[in-house]
Amino acid sequence: MTKKIIILTIVLGSLLVVVIALHILSTFYSCTLLGLEEEQYEALVSDAIFVLGLGVVLVPLIQASQNTRKLRRDLKKAYEQFQKDHGIQSVPIEKEGEDDIAWMLPHYQKATRLTIFAGSFDWLADKPEMEKRILELAGEGKLDLVSYKSKEEVTEGGRAKRKLKSLLKTLGDEHFKFNSKLEKVICTFVQKSGLDTEFLYKSKSDDDGGYMFNACVLSDTDKSRVLLHILSELTKAEHWGERANEVGQSIESSGGES
């Protein structure tokens, strides 16, 4: 019970004592003995009873409200501690294509290797800093772009831009895998220095504050290390589609076979 509730309870208890005392006095003495007319006395007693009744109703409501706020605070702290222990952080994204790219870039800057899963990759060419980093990793042979779409959909889609086509041409086919069959999977596995890894993904917004979604990162902690290892192994799977420069070879090798 909080200090405010204790004080309020004491006040209501005192009021109750006053009301009882007035009733007792009215039994043995006339109202005029108390310096009050009968109507004034009745009004006083009536008001005192009303305030007492109101207080009796409000005390548990106030206590319940405070308990609810405390519970919410405790749950929030527990949730934040859970996220910290498991290496999960999330940032609300208001403008897609702006806030999310700005959030991703520092993670990409620290990467020694990137595996990006998406449909199209037009956003890689939207910001000069992002394009520069992608080309740096590609030049080091540390970039894999996995799309659930076909090569034609990625390179000739309605959203394909001149900058994107230039970037795709510069990257070359060796960094792409198409037709992954991972429909709507959009995430990034980030290999950092040593054994340190991160997994970037989207999640639903926590509230109705006008945010489109949350950008989330699962980073390396004692409790997330096993999960990150599993994700690392899954992102190395060789059966997700075919390399862009292997599509023609697989067709030729299968020719004439039943």
User: What's the confidence (pLDDT) of residue 190?
Assistant: 93
232 pLDDT higher than 80: yes
CA-based torsion, 88, 186, 144, 93: positive or negative: negative
* Cβ-proximal residues to 85 (8 Å cutoff; 6+ apart), any chain: 221, 223
Cα angle value 235/104/214 (rounded, 5°): 90
CB 70 within 8 A of CB 62: no
Distance (Å, rounded) from C-alpha 180 to C-alpha 240?
A: 5
Q: Which two tokens stand for residue 62?
A: 């106030």
Distance (Å, rounded) from C-alpha 120 to C-alpha 86?
A: 30
Least confident of 7-16, 102-111, 228-237: 7-16
Indicate the CATH number of 88-254 among 3.40.50, 3.30.870, 1.10.1240, 3.30.2420: 3.30.870
Over the stretch 92-127, which tens digit does the pLDDT of each residue have?
Answer: 898 888 899 999 999 999 999 999 999 888 888 888
180 pLDDT higher than 50: yes
User: What's the confidence (pLDDT) of residue 240?
Assistant: 64
Q: Sorting pLDDT into bands at 50, 70 and 90, what band is 172?
A: confident
Distance (Å, rounded) from C-alpha 236 to C-alpha 206?
A: 31
- Residue 122 main-chain phi, psi, to 5 deg: -60, -30
Cα torsion through 82, 87, 93, 97, rounded to 10: -160
Average pLDDT (206-220) is: 79
The pTM for the full model equals: 0.64
User: What's the confidence (pLDDT) of residue 217?
Assistant: 93
183 pLDDT higher than 90: no
Cα angle value 160/135/217 (rounded, 5°): 85
1 pLDDT higher than 60: no
CB 178 within 8 A of CB 244: yes
Q: How far is CA 226 from CA 83, 196, 199, 217, in A?
A: 16, 12, 13, 15
Q: Sorting pLDDT into bands at 50, 70 and 90, what band is 168?
A: confident
User: What's the confidence (pLDDT) of residue 166?
Assistant: 80
CB 150 within 8 A of CB 178: yes
Distance (Å, rounded) from C-alpha 52 to C-alpha 107?
A: 61
Average pLDDT (34-40) is: 59
Distance (Å, rounded) from C-alpha 82 to C-alpha 223?
A: 10
Q: How far is CA 147 from CA 119, 133, 155, in A?
A: 5, 19, 11
CB 215 within 8 A of CB 93: yes
Q: Sorting pLDDT into bands at 50, 70 and 90, what band is 210?
A: low
Sheet holding 213-219, edge to edge: 88-93, 213-219, 197-203, 187-191, 113-118, 143-147, 176-178, 242-243
